[in-house]
Amino acid sequence: MTNARTWRGRAFLGMSLDGYIAGPGDDLSFLEAAPGKGQHAATPDTVPALVWETFYPQIDTLLMGRATYDKVLTFGDWPYTDKRVIVLSTTLSEDAPNVRVVRSTDEAIEVLDAEGAEQVYVDGGRTVQEFLRRGLLDELTVSIVPSVIGGGKRLFGDGDRADFVVRGSHVEADGLVRITYDILQG
Amino acid sequence: MTNARTWRGRAFLGMSLDGYIAGPGDDLSFLEAAPGKGQHAATPDTVPALVWETFYPQIDTLLMGRATYDKVLTFGDWPYTDKRVIVLSTTLSEDAPNVRVVRSTDEAIEVLDAEGAEQVYVDGGRTVQEFLRRGLLDELTVSIVPSVIGGGKRLFGDGDRADFVVRGSHVEADGLVRITYDILQG
């Protein structure tokens, strides 16, 4: 199977043990709740998963949905000054600062190809699902929070299928079990 | 909070990355599919999760639902000759060989207490959920298969809540990411 893409799609996400990337009402507090503080058995990171400090410098482009873009704006100063940022939205103004707005996944792919993107951080639950389903996601780093939260927005949807290769994994002091997977295509 | 129980409830399960312990129609083939064979980065097990060989000798009692009991019967010879086995079923005959049949979770708890059980392997999706919800599960070893399967029977249900402490984790050569958690009680 040939792959004409010049870029790799990469996701980097937190998830509860029961598969949620956000709780009811998009509540993200479970990501910070830190249950069992000081009690977790951290493991050696001799074959580590990616962490933000090793992942972020490798990417040249961020692609995110509108909901994620709005969330980033609440952080204050625009954090991605050194990266190409593409926002997938049917409603966001084309004049939005700091970002390139695209109206569809197809247009996003055109822009990624035309601009010579190479390492694309795909962010936001719906965008990650769409890229996974279209075979456009090559890597997933998932950080499994030591909680079951019982409801919210799932990382994977009904009918999704994928197989993975483990590239690295380690446990952090706060009980995050990080895993970096390569995604096997077709 | 006092805990009058004399026994620990312990679960040991395989799960897809999207949270399923069985596929549609109770299909368990994803547990054996072994995607990415030979490509996974196994990690050191210096702080390992439990594996069958370290878990099974520690338990004195198995408690399982009817569906799990029926599955075990298909394996051929009865495998748990050296353990107390309790089956939770409203329909199984009390004369079923090798096992003690109980009709409710309350009766199961009475029997565990009366017989002086200490280390209880709680097996079967519904039984594990019930024990988790009632605060009767103390330990969970989950082996995350490197696949998303898109449907089936989930390990955790809507509204379940739990927090965990990581006791160990390692990656096996077949890409299983094993994690042993202690479950924080209320």
Which residues of chain B from 37 to 66 reach within 8 Å of chain A, CB to CB?
A: 39-44, 46-47
φ, ψ of residue A113 to 5 degrees: the values are: -65, -45
Asked if the C-beta of B94 comes within 8 angstroms of chain A's C-beta atoms, the answer is: no
Q: Do B165 and A175 touch (CB under 8 A)?
A: yes
Question: Does B67 score more than 60 pLDDT?
Answer: yes
Distance CA A99, CA A62 (A): 10
Please give the pLDDT value at position A2. 44
Q: What is the pLDDT of residues B117-168, one digit of tens each?
A: 999 999 989 999 999 999 999 999 999 999 999 999 999 999 999 999 999 9
With tokens 């390492």, the residue in question is A119
The contacts of residue B148 (CB under 8 Å, 6+ apart) are A156, A160, A161, A162, A163, A164, B16, B17, B18
- Nearest-5° Cα angle at B169, A154 to A159: 25
* Whole-complex ipTM: 0.93
How many domains does chain A divide into?
Answer: 1
Q: Which domain holds residue A95?
A: 8-16+42-184
Q: What is the pLDDT of residues A100-139, one digit of tens each?
A: 999 999 999 999 999 999 999 999 899 999 999 999 999 9
At A9, list the tokens: 């799609």
**Burial of A57 per CB tally in 10 Å (0-12, 13-18, 19+):** exposed
Per-residue pLDDT, averaged over A24-35, amounts to 92
Q: What is the pLDDT of residues A154-170, one digit of tens each?
A: 999 999 999 999 999 99
**Burial of A3 per CB tally in 10 Å (0-12, 13-18, 19+):** exposed
**Percent of chain A scored above 70 by pLDDT?**
98
- What predicted TM-score, i.e. pTM, was given to this entire model? 0.94
Domain presence at residue B31 = no
Domain presence at residue B65 = yes
Domain presence at residue B69 = yes
The contacts of residue B18 (CB under 8 Å, 6+ apart) are A19, A154, A155, A156, A160, B148, B149, B150
More confident residue, B75 or B19: B19
Mutate to test the interface with B, among A18, A45, A132 (most CBs of B within 10 A): A18
Domain presence at residue B29 = no
Per-residue pLDDT, averaged over A73-78, amounts to 91
Closest CA to A117 of A24, A5, A27, A42: A5
Q: What is the pLDDT of residues B73-98, one digit of tens each?
A: 998 999 999 999 999 999 999 999 99
Domain presence at residue B33 = no
Report the CATH number at residue B103: 3.40.430.10
Question: Does B1 score more than 50 pLDDT?
Answer: no
Please give the pLDDT value at position A91. 95
What is the nearest CA distance from B59 to chain A, expressed in angstroms?
22
Asked if the C-beta of B148 comes within 8 angstroms of chain A's C-beta atoms, the answer is: yes
Domain presence at residue A26 = no
| DSSP 8-state assignment for residue A136 | -
Mutate to test the interface with B, among A13, A15, A17 (most CBs of B within 10 A): A17
Distance CA A46, CA A170 (A): 8
Per-residue pLDDT, averaged over B44-63, amounts to 96
CB A114 within 8 A of CB A91: no
Q: What is the pLDDT of residues A137-156, one digit of tens each?
A: 999 999 999 999 999 999 99
At A32, list the tokens: 């910070």
